[in-house]
Amino acid sequence: MAKETDYLAYEEEKPIDYKYYFFLFRKNFYVIFTFFVIAVTLASIYAFKIPDTYATYSQIIVENADNPFADGSGYNERGRPQDMSMEFFKTQEQIMMGRAILGEVVDALSLDKYFEVKSKERAVDRIQAMISVSQIPRSRIFNINAKTPDSKLSASLANEIARAYIRKSFKDGLYYSQEILTWLEQAEQSKTGKITVADPFGKAREVSYQDLIDTLPAVQSSETLRSLREKESEMVAEIQSLGLQFRDKHPVMIKAKANLKFIQDSLQSEVSSIIKGLKVKARGKYKSDPARILEEARVPTQPVTVARKKIILLAALLEIFLSCLIIFLIDHFDDTIHSMEDLQRKGILLPFLGPVPMLKGKARSHESAMLYATSADAGKSELAEAFRYLRVAINFSAPPEALKNLMLTSCVPHEGKSFVSQNIAMSLARDGNRTLLIDCDLRRPTVHRAFRLDNDAGLTNYLTGNLDLEAVVKETFVENLFVIPSGPVSPNPAEILGSERMVKLLELARQKYDRIIVDCPPLTGIGDGFVVGGLIGHTILVVAAGKTPAELIRHTQAHLDKAGVKILGMILNMMDVDKERHTGYTKYYYHTYTRYYNREGDPEKT
């Protein structure tokens, strides 16, 4: 619990490491740069494939069509000036871009042949995407904009749409005026005072002359008529009231009726005046145009500038942003340990003994690595120097007596704990220590293969039989290094490793050898390492860089604490020193050694 509390406190107090994020960018620079080149290339191809377009416009002024049914005040029913009706002008915009107008344009310019389409409707669909209509604010002027890959087509489209709209508006106005004029004349001449008209849904209905007049908006909205009708109603009510007091021939009644007749005559006169005005307006439709062209579209000489540079720049910035975001997210969710700095960042509170660099090239296989580490040329290699550094770090990790017996293990298989054990044993032996390497990995032994020894007799034979220690100890090609191989595979490794014979073996080995290195199996899922750890009392944990999660390391640490096994330190194996981040002391450790030996023979540079 204390360990977990320390880790949580560490997480809360840990500041943001901006240098680390810069390191991530630098580490993945070539990946980012590769995708940057790909993104910019694709964006460039796309941008330069966008065809040039030519834009132009024609300009028309739209007169607000006078409604023959409206009053002559110049205002609509909402009190808004008719020539500034927003609804009217929005309607005209839709008419200009409507399929009826565009159909006439297709026929006039033979655009179905130009676009090589089989139907007129497809040609209309094509030009709908090429045009737009915009009204100049607070005016009755409209711009008909056309943008196409053909300069002449752009001008022709803009001009022909303007002409088609004017033709349609004139025809519609003319038809409307003729209908109104016809209805009024028919109503006047009808003997019955009734006429038959068609409603908007095509159904015929019979209306009287008076009904037709009463439904006219101009009549309904006339302030004069409204005032006269109010006076008429008041006078009728007054006559009814007077009739209760006076007879019909009484002077008061005669005067009141005379006033009523005067008001009714005024009403009839006003209605006749309005109807006369409607007729004049209707006939005037033959002479007035609802719209006219102010400026015809010109053939553009230069194409509209395509923002190719902007497209490429946005693609480049987006690629960098997404690449960095993905890299930071991958790093955020990557719980494995890559360097000593990762231990600190991820709260692994264990002593760090040192790294073992990743082997590359021909030395990557285990057997080749063993030969490489022990060869004469390897004495000046980074690998050999890493194990010399580990030897020194181990010697200072605990009192000398406690380091007589040294156990190495790992959290999971394939972390290289056997390779590290063998090379540490070789380094101790080459330092003049009589060293014994014991292969306690009775399930997957490797020591005998690394040193090219027979595995007929080994640790299993000693623990299950009556052999002497000397019978299972074998010399190696490394001076001062002796090995006890695992021997035949045992069906119950944990039981024999925890036996009295194992305790006796360790005691005898301490008497005859300066250092004993015990190579134990991984701890996760296998209890052998905990058994041997309980006998020795301490261990060194080998962790594979970029493979072992920090959470698993903390879990293993907690189990070792419960078993009473102290972790002397941790070794980070298979670390790619060329890619990982180095700060402080480790920065100089990784690079100074190689530069120093590369300058051998030049005293002035050493």
Tell me whether residue 475 is in a domain.
yes
- Please state the rounded mean pLDDT for residues 473-484: 92
Predicted confidence at residue 366, as pLDDT, reads 47
Mean pLDDT check: name the lowest of 113-127, 161-175, 257-271: 161-175
Mean pLDDT check: name the lowest of 330-344, 407-421, 580-594: 580-594
Predicted confidence at residue 218, as pLDDT, reads 65
Domain identity same for 388 and 490: yes
Tell me whether residue 394 is in a domain.
yes
Predicted confidence at residue 538, as pLDDT, reads 92
- Please state the rounded mean pLDDT for residues 374-386: 63
| Angstrom distance (rounded) from CA 287 to CA 280 | 11
Tell me whether residue 57 is in a domain.
no
Total count of residues recorded for the chain: 606
Domain identity same for 459 and 479: yes
Residues 6+ apart with CB under 8 A from 506: 405, 516, 535, 536
Tell me whether residue 467 is in a domain.
yes
Domain identity same for 460 and 482: yes
Q: Structural domain tally of the chain?
A: 2
Tell me whether residue 192 is in a domain.
no
Task: Indicate whether 387 pLDDT > 80.
Answer: yes
Domain identity same for 398 and 502: yes
Domain identity same for 570 and 440: yes
Residues 6+ apart with CB under 8 A from 420: 356, 390, 408, 542, 571, 573
Best CA proximity match to 296, nearest among 483, 157, 173, 470: 157
Domain identity same for 528 and 415: yes
Domain identity same for 548 and 534: yes
Domain identity same for 314 and 349: no
Task: Indicate whether 484 pLDDT > 90.
Answer: yes
Predicted confidence at residue 472, as pLDDT, reads 92
The CATH number that applies at residue 498 is 3.40.50.300
Domain containing 33: what range?
16-50+306-331
Mark 519-558 as b/e (b = at least 16 C-beta within 10 Å): bbbbbeebebbbbbbebbebbbbbbbbbbbbbebbbebbe
Task: Indicate whether 192 pLDDT > 80.
Answer: no
Domain identity same for 403 and 470: yes
Tell me whether residue 98 is in a domain.
no
Domain identity same for 318 and 454: no
pLDDT digits (tens, 9 = 90+) for 77-98: 444 444 446 777 888 888 888 8
Helix or strand or coil: residue 493? helix
Predicted confidence at residue 207, as pLDDT, reads 65
Tell me whether residue 604 is in a domain.
no
pTM of structure: 0.56
Percent of the chain scoring above 70 in pLDDT: 74
Task: Indicate whether 102 pLDDT > 50.
Answer: yes
| Angstrom distance (rounded) from CA 458 to CA 454 | 9
Domain identity same for 385 and 510: yes
Domain identity same for 356 and 378: yes
User: Confidence class of residue 256 from pLDDT cuts 50, 70 and 90?
Assistant: confident
User: Confidence class of residue 543 from pLDDT cuts 50, 70 and 90?
Assistant: very high
Task: Indicate whether 365 pLDDT > 80.
Answer: no
Taking all residues of the chain, what is their mean pLDDT, rounded to a whole number? 79
For residue 199, which phi and psi values (nearest 5 degrees)?
-80, 175
Who has greater pLDDT, 264 or 10?
264
Predicted confidence at residue 333, as pLDDT, reads 84
Tell me whether residue 170 is in a domain.
no
Mean pLDDT check: name the lowest of 31-45, 203-217, 270-284, 412-426: 203-217
- Please state the rounded mean pLDDT for residues 414-443: 91
Predicted confidence at residue 59, as pLDDT, reads 93
Task: Indicate whether 443 pLDDT > 70.
Answer: yes
Percent of the chain scoring above 90 in pLDDT: 24
